[in-house]
């Protein structure tokens, strides 16, 4: 493989939402530094997010037959064999990424680590958003690492380029667009981050009854996929695409939608990569934690004005008051907010 004078190893193994937030920053850096090369290490399915970036390569962290992730030493050997790494940029900052960075550091390669203000995070959780300042966004934390590596950032990011193959697959499967296409992603990893099932079903039922509206349900995980499939079977013009499409196909389908209704979850970040407007429902989390979408100018955020928010930054399943007031929205409130985004209600 041809060697490159400046090859930057970018470590961000997971999760989907955090890797999606890396995409616009890396795209800007890659286009601003065309003579540099970037190698992203992440889970295999996430490689679709980096398609179209000319000087970005992707190395997947494989999953073995027993379900365990490939060892750090194995990843290190593959990287040393295939790439002439000059700088390591650790955007994950967990045990595995630090160990991998340490192995490169032993061979004399400089490593830069993402900076997180744990004190500010604890203060936000303790005092709530009303008595706290917004944390540095995840985008700015990523950008800080690239700047410390001496890389410029003088480009803009609007959306991912169209993946022609995936777009063709989406066209073949879902045909030409007629009327309004609405995406709904009702789930999140933790209970505090999503609406009660009853409210989500009422929202789906409302739009399913609208003539000329087609609804696509997004989600991940076996339980979510099964539940969304069951919900879709209740209505003629509702289809679950959870677990049915590749990540590239999901992005191209989102590109054709008029609106996405979602929680503070990975689907919101995926939607922002293709310029899709979102109505985002924030429950236990809060935008002050720095995990807002890339371009939130057209996004409407629904939040409860509770002083205890955020009770979590990365998601949890418990409420210290045991009432989950942050999740108490009505379907009518959500439907009414959709009208502000010019979706026919």
> pLDDT at position 247, please?
96
Mean pLDDT of 70-92: 94
**Does the structure show a pLDDT above 90 at 209?**
yes
* Average pLDDT value over all residues in the chain: 91
**Does the structure show a pLDDT above 80 at 62?**
no
What's 173-341's CATH class? alpha beta
Of the two residues 141 and 315, the one the predictor is more confident about is 141
**Residue 23, Cα to own-chain centre: how many angstroms?**
9
8 Å CB contact between 240 and 225 = yes
Tell me phi and psi for residue 197, to 5 degrees.
-55, -40
Beta bridge partners of 259: 182
Q: What is the pLDDT of residues 265-315, one digit of tens each?
A: 999 999 999 999 999 999 999 999 999 888 766 688 999 999 999 999 887
What's 7-148's CATH class? alpha beta
Q: What is the pLDDT of residues 241-270, one digit of tens each?
A: 999 999 999 999 999 999 999 999 999 999
> pLDDT at position 2, please?
45
Mean pLDDT of 312-333: 89
How wide is the angle at C-alpha 262 spanned by C-alphas 226 and 171, nearest 5°? Answer: 70
> pLDDT at position 282, please?
94
Mean pLDDT of 306-331: 90
Give the whole-angstrom CA distance, residue 254 versus residue 312.
28
User: Rounded to two decimals, what is the model's pTM?
Assistant: 0.93
- Picking from 203, 128, 192, 188, the residue whose alpha carbon sits closest to that of residue 325 is 192
Of 1-15, 32-46, 152-166, 230-244, give the lowest mean pLDDT range.
1-15
Question: In this prediction, what percent of the chain has a pLDDT beyond 70?
Answer: 94
- From start to end of the chain, where are the E strands? 7-11, 37-43, 56-61, 87-90, 111-113, 180-185, 213-217, 238-240, 259-263, 278-281, 300-302
Give the whole-angstrom CA distance, residue 295 versus residue 235.
33
Q: What is the pLDDT of residues 149-161, one digit of tens each?
A: 999 999 899 899 9
Residues 6+ apart with CB under 8 A from 155: 27, 28, 31, 32
Tokens found for residue 140: 């700015």
DSSP 76-114: HHHHHHH----EEEESS-SHHHHHHHHHHHHTT--EEE-
Mean pLDDT of 90-112: 95
Query: How many Cα atoms within 13 Å fall on the side-chain side of residue 222?
Result: 0
Considering the chain, tell me which residue range(s) the CATH 3.40.50.2000 domain(s) occupy: 7-148, 173-341
């Amino acid at each position: 493989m041809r060697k490159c004078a400046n090859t930057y190893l970018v470590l961000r193994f997971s999760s989907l939402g955090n890797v999606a937030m890396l995409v616009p920053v890396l795209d800007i850096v890659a286009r601003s530094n065309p003579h540099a090369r970037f190698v992203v290490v992440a889970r295999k399915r996430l490689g679709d997010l980096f398609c179209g970036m000319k000087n970005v390569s992707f190395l997947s962290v494989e999953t073995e037959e027993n379900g365990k992730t490939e060892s750090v030493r194995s990843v290190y050997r593959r990287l040393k064999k295939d790439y002439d790494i000059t700088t390591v940029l650790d955007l994950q900052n967990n045990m595995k990424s630090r160990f991998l960075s340490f192995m490169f550091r032993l061979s004399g390669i400089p490593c830069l680590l993402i900076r997180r203000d744990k004190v500010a995070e604890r203060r936000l959780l303790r005092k709530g958003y009303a008595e706290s300042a917004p944390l540095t966004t995840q985008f700015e934390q990523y950008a800080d690492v690239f700047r410390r590596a001496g890389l410029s950032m003088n480009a803009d990011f609007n959306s991912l380029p169209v993946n022609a193959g995936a777009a063709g697959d989406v066209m073949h499967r879902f045909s030409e667009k007629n009327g309004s296409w609405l995406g709904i992603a009702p789930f999140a990893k933790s209970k505090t981050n999503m609406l009660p099932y009853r409210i989500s079903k009422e929202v789906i039922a409302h739009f399913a009854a609208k003539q000329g509206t087609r609804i696509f349900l997004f989600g991940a995980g076996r339980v979510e996929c099964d539940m969304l499939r069951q919900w879709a079977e209740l209505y003629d013009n509702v289809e679950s695409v959870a677990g049915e499409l590749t990540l590239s196909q999901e992005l191209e389908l989102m590109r054709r939608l008029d609106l996405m209704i979602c929680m503070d979850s990975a689907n919101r970040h995926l939607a922002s990569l293709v310029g899709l407007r979102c109505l985002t429902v924030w429950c236990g989390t809060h935008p002050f934690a720095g995990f807002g979408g890339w371009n939130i100018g057209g996004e409407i955020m629904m939040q409860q004005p509770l002083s205890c928010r955020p009770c979590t930054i990365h998601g949890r399943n418990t409420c210290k008051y045991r009432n989950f007031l942050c999740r108490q929205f009505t379907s009518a409130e959500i439907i009414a907010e959709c009208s502000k985004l010019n979706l026919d209600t």
